[in-house]
Structure 1
Amino acid sequence: MKAPVSWIKEYVDLPAEVTTEALTDRLTALGLKLEAIETTGEGISGPLVVGQVLTMEPEPQKNGKTINWCTVDVGDANGTGEPQGIVCGAHNFKPGDKVVVVLPGGVLPGGFEISARKTYGHLSAGMICSARELGLGEDHEGIIVLPADAPAPGTDAREALGLGEEVIEFEINPDRAYALSLRGIAREAALGFGVPFTDPAQRDVPPANEDGYPVRIADPEGCPVFVARTITGFDPAAPTPAFIVDRLKAVGVRSISLAVDITNYVMFELGQPIHAYDRAKLQGPIVVRRAESGEKLTTLDDVVRELSPEDLLITDDSGPIGLAGVMGGASTEISATTTDLVIEAANFEPTSIFRTERRHKLPSEASKRFERGVDPLLPSLAADRVVELLVEYGGGTVDEGVTVAGGFPTPRTITIPVDLPARISGIDIDAATTVANLEAIGARVTVEGDALTATVPTFRPDLNDPYDLVEEVVRIVGYTEVPSVLPRRATGRGLTRAQRLRRRIGRTLAGAGLVEVVSFPFVGEQDFEALGLPADDIRRRTVGLANPLSAEAPAYTTTVLPGLLQAAARNLGRGQDGVALFETATVAFPTDQAAPIYGVDRRPSDEELEKLLEAIPTQPLHLGVVLAGERERAGWWGEGRQAGWADALEVVRGLSAELGVTLEVANATLMPWHPGRCAVVRVDGEELGHAGELHPNVCKAYGLPARSAAIEIDLDVLMSRTREVVPGPVFSTLPVAKEDVALLVDDTITVAAVEAALREGAGDLLESLRLFDVYAGEQLGAGKKSLAFALRFRAPDRTLTAEETAAARDAAVAKAVELTGAVQR
């Protein structure tokens, strides 16, 4: 919202010492954020004067262009008093017109210096200026022609052009709709400096009667009140007064015609959008209603719009003639022949206007105000202001008929303890200050005992509860007055067990070289197809979103892998040689219980609350890991290595070791993992998740390197089995006994199964067990592999003898033979 300082000062008597910077600082403190301060005509220096055209001789050129060789009276501004010779390419003026002339030595916006120069065979000493050349607008088709009563030739043109005006641009928050007007900004200025405010809307208006233009409201919720006034005998050729043109230009609106300019002027002045109809084009009474299926409307921008049944319309007997609160229709548009006008000033429901504007992608100055909430008492006042200006500058007669359809709302009241602002803010605010500040914003206040009741002004729809009143009092006193008080020590007991465990998990994974990512938890069918999930897979049963961010991802995910795989592919595609990513996030599995919908007028009963809780989806916390590309870098030390399924299992094992959990690993077949390189991980017999190499089709679908690996496990299950304190390692001074064994097994036997058998057979003397070699070859036979393990034995109280070590080794091998059918090599 742009506001010329002179326009603000018309309604508020600011102290002489208040500068524009001081004004903007105070208004910013009150909630109107400063965007910029502009000065009209900034960048213009040197002689800029009023000139009067004495002669103009058209001279056709060889290039097909016709220029005018003009002599212009510039008074004594050129130092000689003689007419100035100037070449001009525009044709919208004639001898006798007063124009704006920049003389040699002047500088125009953009650093464009003016000098006497020879052009088209003449010495042109200056320039006759257009609006664009002066930085006053985009019009470059013709030069500026001043009114006949403009100052005499040679006079400085800055005042005639309204240059030097300071214009403040504010960012207006949605809850401050009243500040989208000079009335609102001036009220805030008066509030900030404690000076009187002259309300431009304060006026006596004629009462409603039966003689006004007929209006019927068929949708009172969408349009609470509609005011109509009529003017006849209006002069459509009457010029717009210069001060209105200048002020509209300052707020960013170009002048169109007197009738349109005045409706725009009053909108910026009071904040009430106005629309004018050509009465001769209206057919029957005006009706405000919702659109019917199949209706269309050609709006003022000459676009034919398909209407929705949710659109609020202004109609007559011919059908729709305007989108209420957004834009009028072309069929009743004011033209150069319009002599009779019907003025509309109405109030519309904000949500309806917001949805219509978004639906038709048709933002306007009117909709910007209506969608935030316009003062419902303004229509009569604004309509009267418009007809006053139209008659004053355009002639004509105001009809005695005054139409007021609908009704005005009853103001709301809010009751608060008198000391509430002081208690909430910590500022020493007495009762008198509270009452004075609320009255300053336009509220009527009564005090009874320790309670205060404020009747909220109708132009403040944002004031709805006691704490809104507290905010109003405190912002006027000043937020800088809020004392600095050290917060009390938190009464909590620190992090919860789950929070501590999640941090341990994150540190462990980071220590293993993994980077945490956060991805959107939304999926669609294309994600499940990319993962290769069967049609009956439980992960395809999702919780749908009522308002998804994207139609392609309308559901909450049941697996964290889609987002992780996309992040991995994106990083690899941007030049990373390898990625190791992890994410901890909740997934959601729907229940069979439909969620009931209760009203908000009361708290649900215990039975109703139980039904609500039953309908909440199951939301376990999952950990996902993706390893793709280079896992170990190549260098002078040797060759690098690509990530694979073994790395995924090692991440799971490292995590379990950190959390003091013993894992059970077995073969599994589950998409999106490779059927031969997928492991199911269990804890105490309960499934924890899966880890292994991704299916080739999945790698291809996401653009990942072949043999990329992934993990997805249920952290809730893992953390429920985690020890709070994991015992540290035990060190012994006694020597370790080393034994290596090689076992020949079928290639269908997993390493985990052989390892478990060896541990069981070795007994308590076994300190560690490690697979150090896997071999398969023709000499072993088809379907066979050799597994070599390093066994380390140690007793806590003695040095083991060779016989004890051998016995433990043999017992381990015997158990492996028994359980897996192994043969010792």
Structure 2
Amino acid sequence: MRISAEWLKTLLPVTDAPAALADRLTMAGLEVDAVEPAAPPFSGVIVAEIENCEPHPGADSLKLCRVNAGGESLQIVCGAPNARPGLRVPLAVVGAELPGDLRIRKAKLRGVESYGMLCSARELGLSEDGSGLMELAADAPVGEDLRHYLGLDDQIIEVDLTPNRGDCLGMLGLAREVSALTGVDFPGLPLQPISPRHDDQLPIRLEAAADCPRYVGRIIRGVDVSAPTPVWMQERLRRAGIRSLGPVVDVTNYVMLELGQPMHAFDLARLQGGIVVRKARAGEALELLNGETVELTPETLVIADESVPVAMAGIMGGETSSVTDGTSDILLESAFFSPMAIAGRARSYGLHTESSHRFERGVDPVIQAQAAERATALILEIAGGEPGPLIDVVDSVALPPARTVNLRASRISRLLGTDIPRETVTGVLQRLGLTVKGGPEEWQVSVPAYRFDISIEADLIEELARVYGYDRIPVRHPATPVTVSPQPEAHVSLARIRQHLVSDGFHEAVNYAFVDERVQELVDPDWKPVALANPLSADLAVMRTSLWPGLLRTTARNQSRQQERLRLFETGLRFRGELDALTQDGAVAGVIAGAALPEQWGASRRVVDFFDLKGVVESLAELRGDATAFDYVADQHPALHPGQSARIDLDGEVVGWLGALHPSVERALDLNGPVFLFELKLAALQVGQVPAYRGLSRYPSIRRDLALVVDESVSEARVRDCILRAGGETLKKIVLFDVYRGKGVRENARSLGIGLILQDFSRTLTDIDCDDIVERVVASLGSELGVELRG
């Protein structure tokens, strides 16, 4: 929401500077993103009137204008197509300074002298419109400084409102809020009813009263849509980020900004019969004002005439019933739509409008008639016309019920830890627009309909705290004793896992738990994801069953930004199963791509491979106190390369996967391969072993090396397990120091060079002892795995 400080001062006599006001709003929970000037700096620009316009003698595209600059007549050469006698426009006189460090000097254009420049809105930095001169009102005072005339020495306060504060999406609500924060009384807006000049009405029928319990309409005949919108209104719209589109549309937008009530105007001649508020029917379509035609779903609330939809309720009007240059009779619409009827509907069609933004958060359900009266008064003032009676159709049962909340002084003290004076409590609540009865120990507070966020006592206390000032609430230590929960010594914390990966050169990624269904299907097709009823966007439509979709999307985004060497990890929840039996389990996942080492002179460039990733997983296993706890079993996963993937088992249970991303998935996600990734259940890493003391032998160790010929189908892990079982307690360590394939080794086999470290606690081992152990190991390998000693 963009707030004009000058507009706010016309509603509330506040004396705070914009910066100070921004601080107040931020401290009260209405975060201010920026405070910026309403117009860029420029000087020497005045209001001028074109008295005469003649063709330039040396250029067909230029005009020679005689301009009244307030006391003197100047000759100006101008190329704007709308330059004409009687038009009042901005004139930058000689010596003027315009945005972009442009200084105006006397010039000679095609042999004719020009003493200044007539300006467009773009040249003054007021809009992007550079198609012609900026046209000012016919009564604009000639010779007056343009900044003073338009009030451009204004500040815009941009507020990032939270979804629960829809009441502040209008200047009326903001003025009420500032009144509560500053203590300045807010007199309110004087809204006077308009007397009808004819009896014409249109039948209005609410077929979906639960979604639209109130619809207010009014017919206005004889409207001059060619009338210019006053400059003051155009300026207020511009500062709010809305461009001028003609008097009728400008008025509806202005009332929306002023009162927070979105409005719409229909061309009465293009409506067939009355107005029907209903749900869309199967097969219906609507051409919107933005030129897009949408297929309506049965869940969409529409405004229709007796034959077809003419607007998407609370979102956008239709092109077929819009106000055009030929419109003379209009139907004003001012309605209340339930937030639940509008929430998510705009996004489902790829839309987001000022109207839907407000209705989704909640609009005051009792202000529709006042908004219609205000809009009528402005239209009559600007474009003329004859208004009919107000048509107010209400289903009072479906309107939000009135709320009364009891507030206790003891509860205020208990929650805030301080006593707020009773008169302060009453004053704060009343300035917020709440009706307060009772006291001094208990109040009955009637909540106005526009405050959807207040329903319980704690909500009122929150309002008191933020308006009273969080900085005025003293810091107090809790009176209750604090107990420290015991932490199992064997537990490996998530913080330690994350820090370990960061120390290993990884960067942590934080992605949404919602992912693109297409990517989810590519990466983890074995699990059907839970679809979101109200997704943020089409590519965030389902809950993730794996952390890989988010990590791969982050990888693609980084690679597209020239980040070639990537090491990313993420921790979070996976959501698996049906909605009524959904399981949420924590996981840690990582991805590596690009060079194995940063570019350097000491080592040649090498691309990461499967064993780089396996080493990362083994280092995580070391956090448990046992680097060999995981078993890596060659297996296939839909997202992984068939020849470079492994299942990770722990005590016979599958706890994760690692491997190279499947080439088809790489291509589908536009990744620069190869990409390697892993995923582990978090619980498998968090249950470790408590370190225990083990004495060192005083006797020397002996090493025996074996060259074993092993079939390719037999993993090194199986060989290691067999050796450990056969070696007994004397075998202290196994070292794999060589892997060889080639001459001297049969086909489909490899030679493993394995060192056995032997040591006893009670004596020095003899050669006979070592030979016995080696023979036992070799025999077990041969009988269990078909392993032979290499000759």
Sort the TM-score into its range (normalised by shorter chain). 0.7 to 0.9
CA 1:742–1:385: 2 relative to 1, 3 Å:
closer
1:491 and 2:483 aligned: yes
Which aligned pairs between 1:506-521 and structure 2 lie closer than 5 A?
515=506
Instruction: Find the counterpart in structure 2 of residue 104 from structure 1.
Output: 94
Q: TM-score, normalised by structure 1?
A: 0.77
Instruction: Find the counterpart in structure 2 of residue 382 from structure 1.
Output: 371
Instruction: Find the counterpart in structure 2 of residue 735 from structure 1.
Output: 700
CA 1:150–1:421: 2 relative to 1, 3 Å:
same
1:419 counterpart SS class: helix
Instruction: Find the counterpart in structure 1 of residue 219 from structure 2.
Output: 230
2:91 counterpart SS class: strand
One-letter amino acid matched to 1:176: R
Instruction: Find the counterpart in structure 2 of residue 474 from structure 1.
Output: 465
Gaps of 5+ in 2: none
**Residue 31 of structure 1, aligned match among 29, 32, 38:** 29
- For residue 631 of structure 1, report the CA deviation from its aligned partner: 8.7
Distance in 1 (CA, whole Å) between partners of 2:787 and 2:572 is 42
1:58 and 2:55 aligned: yes
Distance in 2 (CA, whole Å) between partners of 1:138 and 1:627 is 44
Q: TM-score, normalised by structure 2?
A: 0.80
- For residue 215 of structure 1, report the CA deviation from its aligned partner: 1.5
One-letter amino acid matched to 1:68: L
- For residue 200 of structure 1, report the CA deviation from its aligned partner: 0.8
1:67 and 2:58 aligned: no
Gaps of 5+ in 1: 531-538, 597-614
One-letter amino acid matched to 1:2: R
Distance in 1 (CA, whole Å) between partners of 2:183 and 2:20 is 14
Instruction: Find the counterpart in structure 1 of residue 411 from structure 2.
Output: 420
Instruction: Find the counterpart in structure 2 of residue 12 from structure 1.
Output: 12
Worse-matched range after superposition: 245-254 or 637-646: 637-646
Which aligned pairs between 1:148-227 and structure 2 lie closer than 5 A?
148-151=138-141, 153-200=142-189, 203=192, 212-227=201-216
Contact 1:6 1:165 in 2 (8 A): yes
One-letter amino acid matched to 2:182: F
CA 1:482–1:56: 2 relative to 1, 3 Å:
same
Write the deviation string for residues 191-235 of structure 1: whole angstroms up to 9, x where unpaired.
22212211115556889x997432211111221111223334555
CA 1:452–1:758: 2 relative to 1, 3 Å:
same
Contact 1:353 1:371 in 2 (8 A): yes
1:371 counterpart SS class: helix
One-letter amino acid matched to 1:108: L
- For residue 616 of structure 1, report the CA deviation from its aligned partner: 4.2
Distance in 1 (CA, whole Å) between partners of 2:388 and 2:239 is 33
Instruction: Find the counterpart in structure 2 of residue 118 from structure 1.
Output: 108
Contact 1:688 1:718 in 2 (8 A): no
Figure out how many residues of one structure are paired with residues of the other and give that number.
778
2:311 counterpart SS class: strand
Q: What is the percent sequence identity of the aligned residues?
A: 32
CA 1:450–1:543: 2 relative to 1, 3 Å:
farther
- For residue 474 of structure 1, report the CA deviation from its aligned partner: 1.1
One-letter amino acid matched to 1:89: G
Instruction: Find the counterpart in structure 1 of residue 449 from structure 2.
Output: 458
Instruction: Find the counterpart in structure 1 of residue 625 from structure 2.
Output: 659
Instruction: Find the counterpart in structure 1 of residue 426 from structure 2.
Output: 435
2:484 counterpart SS class: coil
Contact 1:632 1:640 in 2 (8 A): no
1:444 and 2:435 aligned: yes
Contact 2:11 2:188 in 1 (8 A): yes
Contact 2:566 2:591 in 1 (8 A): no
Distance in 2 (CA, whole Å) between partners of 1:429 and 1:277 is 51
Contact 1:649 1:691 in 2 (8 A): no
Contact 2:422 2:440 in 1 (8 A): no
CA RMSD of aligned residues (A): 5.0
Distance in 1 (CA, whole Å) between partners of 2:615 and 2:135 is 83
Distance in 2 (CA, whole Å) between partners of 1:627 and 1:147 is 63
Contact 2:269 2:329 in 1 (8 A): yes
Instruction: Find the counterpart in structure 2 of residue 351 from structure 1.
Output: 340
Write the deviation string for residues 383-416 of structure 1: whole angstroms up to 9, x where unpaired.
1222333344544444356444433544222223
- For residue 12 of structure 1, report the CA deviation from its aligned partner: 1.6
Instruction: Find the counterpart in structure 1 of residue 690 from structure 2.
Output: 724
Instruction: Find the counterpart in structure 2 of residue 365 from structure 1.
Output: 354
Contact 2:407 2:457 in 1 (8 A): yes
Contact 1:757 1:816 in 2 (8 A): yes
Distance in 2 (CA, whole Å) between partners of 1:94 and 1:632 is 67
CA 1:485–1:280: 2 relative to 1, 3 Å:
same
Worse-matched range after superposition: 366-375 or 708-717: 708-717
Contact 2:267 2:327 in 1 (8 A): yes
1:546 counterpart SS class: coil
Which aligned pairs between 1:501-540 and structure 2 lie closer than 5 A?
515=506
Contact 1:416 1:451 in 2 (8 A): yes
Contact 2:492 2:624 in 1 (8 A): no
2:492 counterpart SS class: helix
Distance in 2 (CA, whole Å) between partners of 1:501 and 1:215 is 63
- For residue 375 of structure 1, report the CA deviation from its aligned partner: 0.8
**Residue 283 of structure 2, aligned match among 286, 289, 294:** 294
Instruction: Find the counterpart in structure 2 of residue 316 from structure 1.
Output: 305
CA 1:627–1:768: 2 relative to 1, 3 Å:
farther
Distance in 2 (CA, whole Å) between partners of 1:666 and 1:262 is 70
CA 1:93–1:476: 2 relative to 1, 3 Å:
same
**Residue 21 of structure 1, aligned match among 6, 19, 22:** 19
- For residue 770 of structure 1, report the CA deviation from its aligned partner: 4.2
1:432 counterpart SS class: helix
Write the deviation string for residues 332-372 of structure 1: whole angstroms up to 9, x where unpaired.
44455544443222111223334443344444333332222
Write the deviation string for residues 723-770 of structure 1: whole angstroms up to 9, x where unpaired.
323444x32333345555667787877666666666555554444454
Contact 2:529 2:545 in 1 (8 A): no
CA 1:582–1:265: 2 relative to 1, 3 Å:
closer
**Residue 77 of structure 2, aligned match among 83, 87, 92:** 87
Distance in 2 (CA, whole Å) between partners of 1:23 and 1:819 is 81
Distance in 2 (CA, whole Å) between partners of 1:134 and 1:227 is 40
1:453 counterpart SS class: strand
Distance in 2 (CA, whole Å) between partners of 1:627 and 1:302 is 44
Contact 1:588 1:617 in 2 (8 A): yes
Contact 2:88 2:138 in 1 (8 A): yes
Contact 1:326 1:364 in 2 (8 A): yes
- For residue 190 of structure 1, report the CA deviation from its aligned partner: 1.8
Contact 1:589 1:618 in 2 (8 A): yes
Distance in 1 (CA, whole Å) between partners of 2:518 and 2:265 is 52
Instruction: Find the counterpart in structure 2 of residue 602 from structure 1.
Output: none
Distance in 1 (CA, whole Å) between partners of 2:389 and 2:659 is 86
